Each structure stands twice: as structure tokens, then as C-alpha cells.
Amino acid sequence: MEVEVKHSIEVNQEDIDKKIKLRGWVHETRVFGGLIFIVLRDREGIVQITLPKKFVEAEVFKLAKKLRRESVISVTGMVKEESKAPGGYEIIPDSITVLNEADAPLPLDVVEKVPAELDTRLDHRYLDLRRPRIQAIFRIRHQVLQSVNNFLCEEGYIEVNTPKIVSTATEGGTELFPISYFEKEAFLNQSPQLYKQALMAAGFEKVFEVGPIFRAEEHNTVRHLNEAISIDIEASFLDHEGVMDVLERLIKRIYSDVAENCKKYLNYFENLELRIPEVPFKRLKYDKAIEIAAQKGEEIPWGEDLTTASLKLIGEDFPDHYFIVDWPTVSKPFYAMPFEDDPEISKSFDLMIGGLELASGAQRVHNYDLLVKRIGEVGLNPENFGFYLETFRYGMPPHAGWGLGAERLLMSMLELKNIRESVMFPRDRNRLVP
């Protein structure tokens, strides 16, 4: 009879006194004379393999004794109930096959008995990712992205992919990565901005994209990456308020889904209390925000972007999710729509949690002449925006949208101290490998 292949988590009452097969990594081994314990780790967790010398084949016992940690093995054996074993069951093996032996010593301790610096962990990230606590971050990340997809599809958005090799800047000319594209100058895209707007002219009405954005940020901080994943939407016939409503409901949905579906993974974050945010989120006007910062000793001249230091001070008064709204037009990109009755301020917003910016967005300028004027005002050349500008001449609906940083979201949700923790293979000022 074929032996059933199981994952650690699937072993249950019905398997008692039955033979099953498990495959995974040697997490730990403990040898006490006539008794060996192997902790086998697989995708779902750990299970104990117990070898009492008297009850297993001499060959199997001999092999178990020499097993090196992190080797990949396959074990076939009888399931027994054992209250002291993790999960409540143990396996008494009748065969163990080494599928691939690991070298020793390991460059990184997977059981986390020896603490390691983040840099060392990232250098050997495939081993770091084997740690159950680290795997939990990415299981939760998976749920976050699944919730994004489900929610936006339910709301009528269609998923799109826009090019990442482009000819112009969108978010200001200084943070671009130039690349060589045959005989032309090209860049890695900073944002799907121009393309998601073009898709409004194409008549899709509601689109979303989850994809990489590239920012040549010179500075090395705990909240910046050079390659990040942005969750972008664009929607026709909605204004800034309309897309803020979508954004806050999405955040609430993500938190609810994670709380409901990721209990097992959340247990790894001991002091974390995941609170599902209430909507609507608070709205804080830019003018009020700089007033709070000034009261706390950080003066921001009207019209300038809020500094990290000022956001930290403002965030002290707003620990939960909130929007900063009514930004000066000069502080936002050319595509943000100025208010008709007060063009000094724009219909743009940032979504914040405490002092951390999670997303920004706006209703967009959809008038061709105003757009050309705005591009010029921010010091860019309208001639470089040919394809984009054309979309505004032949039937561009009013529209709005936002971009939400996936890593910032995960980082804030799990209270990770460094954004690099939320990416499998982060790219920063110094890191291009692995």
C-alpha cells in the first residue's frame, strides 16, 4: 500500500498507529545514548521523529545519529500520540532517506539560538527565510496581497501591468535609475503613474497594479528601499475623496483578513496587538499639521514637504491611520489637481500611520492646458511627455488614484523595525546581492 505523504500540520488523530511519510529539513537533533530525537521542519511547522534504539532498525539509528542540521530528509514511520512532542504526535521511523546533506557549520543558525545581525541574515537570506518567525512575515505578506486583489476585484477594478522600462520621470527628476536601452536613454520606472492615467483615457475606468517601483534614494534609512512594491489604483469619475474612501476600506479589509486568517503566523509576534482600524480615518489638514510640528519645535515653511522629523512629531498625536489632506500645490507632483476655488492647495492626500507615510494620492489634473502649465512649473519639459499629454486631448475623463507601499504597510502592521524585514531580497544603497 502507498504510504500517505503529509505535512507536519496535517498529522492527526486518525494517523495514530498508521504509517506516513514526511519530507523536510533537519531542524535539530538530540542524542541521549539509546534515544534520538530529530525535529523535522517542513513548510507548515515542525514534527518530532523519535528513535528509541530498541524499536528502530540499527541502520536507521546509525544514520539518525550522524544527521547534520538543515539536511533535507524523507522519513517514513508510524505515528504515535505523544503529549510532550510539538503538535502532540511523534513519528517512530522505519526508514530515513537523506535527499541532500547540508554542509557544516551553517553560515546562519536557523533555530535562532545564536543571534545574528540583519546584514548577516540578509547575506544568507535563504537560510534566514527558513526561520519560522521570518516565514510568518511572508505568509502574512501573501495574505495582504491576496486581500488587495480580492477587495479591488470585488470593487470592479481590473488588474493591469505597465512597463518598468520608461523614458521619463514621474515623481521628480532626481531619483531615477538610468539604464542603457540600445541607443536610447531609459530609466527604471518610479511609479506606474503616467500609464495608469493613460488607461483612464483608454476607458478602463478602474484599474489596479501591484508591481515594482524603483527609486534611486541616496540615503540609507529604515523606511526606504531602492526597489519596492507599490499597490496602485486609478479610477475615473472619482475625486480625491472617492479614492480615499476606497483606500481606507481596503486597509480595514486587509487588517480584518490578516486577523482572521493568519492567527498562527501572528503568534510569532509576541507583543503585537493587531487592531482593526475604524473607518473613516481622521483627516488632518496640511496647515494644521505644520502648526502641530511648529508647536513642538519643528518649523516647516508653508509650501514645503513635511520632513521626517516633523512627521515624527505630528505622528505622536496621531498613532493610528489618518490622512494628511489639502497639501500646497507646490509641494505635490504636477499631476495633482489644484482646488478650483483655492489653487494654492491641491486635492492630494497622504495616508499616514503615526509618523510613517503609507500611501499618497490625488485627484488628477485632467485639463490639457493646465497639465502642460503644471509640468513646466515643476521644471520638467512638456516635450518629454508626448504620449502622456496626448491622452488628455481626445477624451480624458476626470480621475483620481493613489499608490500604497506594500512594504511600508507590512512594516507598520507587524511593527517591524526595518523595512528590509518585509522584503525577501531587499535592495538598498549598499545591497545588490543576493
**Rounded distance, CA 380 to CA 378, Å?**
6
Which candidate in 41, 131, 215, 321 is catalytic? 215
Distance of CA 74 to the CA centre of its chain: 33
| Residue 309: CB minimum distance to ligand AMO, A | 18
User: Is 366 an annotated catalytic residue?
Assistant: no
CB nearer ligand AMO, residue 25 or residue 335: 335
- Least Cβ distance, residue 207 to ligand AMO (angstroms): 11
Residues in Cβ contact with 352 at an 8 Å cutoff, skipping those fewer than 6 apart: 311, 314, 315, 318, 321, 322, 323, 324, 358
In the complex, the smallest distance separating the C-beta of residue 406 from ligand AMO, rounded to whole angstroms, is: 8
Whether residue 224 lies in the annotated active site: yes
Helix/strand/coil (H, E, C) string of 311-379?
HHHHHHHCCCEEEEECCEHHHCCCCECEECCEEEEECEEEEEECCEEEEEEEEECCCHHHHHHHHHHCC
Cβ at position 416, least distance to ligand AMO in Å: 13
Angle in degrees, CA 415, 420, 425, rounded to 5: 135
Ranked by CB distance to ligand AMO, the top (closest) residue is 405
Helices 308-317 and 286-295, axial angle in degrees (round to 10):
90
Q: Give yes or no: 408 in active site.
A: yes
Residue where the block lists cell 557549520:
105
- Closer CB to ligand AMO, 89 or 402, in the complex: 402
Nearer to ligand AMO, 41 or 196 (CB): 196
The cell for 104 is 557544516
In 175-304 the beta strands, taken as DSSP E runs, fall at: 177-181, 184-188, 206-214, 227-236, 282-285
Q: How far is the CB of 189 from ligand AMO (least distance, A)?
A: 10
Report the relative pairing of strands 282-285 and 321-325 from DSSP bridges: parallel
Please identify which of the residues 408, 412, 420, 421 carries the catalytic annotation.
Answer: 408
The single residue of 41, 131, 141, 224 carrying the catalytic annotation is 224
- How many residues does the structure list for the chain? 434
Nearer to ligand AMO, 29 or 363 (CB): 363
217 included as an active-site residue: yes
User: Shortest distance, CB of residue 331 to ligand AMO, whole angstroms?
Assistant: 12
Whether residue 215 lies in the annotated active site: yes
Decide whether 15 or 209 has the Cβ nearer to ligand AMO.
209
Q: How far apart are CA 248 and CA 233, in angstroms?
A: 13
- Give the active site residue among 124, 130, 139, 223: 223
The one catalytic residue among 147, 360, 412, 422: 360
Of 135 and 348, CB closest to ligand AMO: 348
Residues binding ligand AMO (CB under 6 A): 171, 191, 193, 215, 217, 224-225, 228, 230, 232, 357-362, 401-403, 405, 407-408
Instruction: Compute the half-sphere exposure of residue 213: CA atoms within 13 Å on the CB side of its CA.
Output: 25
Active-site option among 28, 44, 217, 227: 217
Q: Which residues are known to be catalytic?
A: 215, 217, 223-224, 357, 360, 408
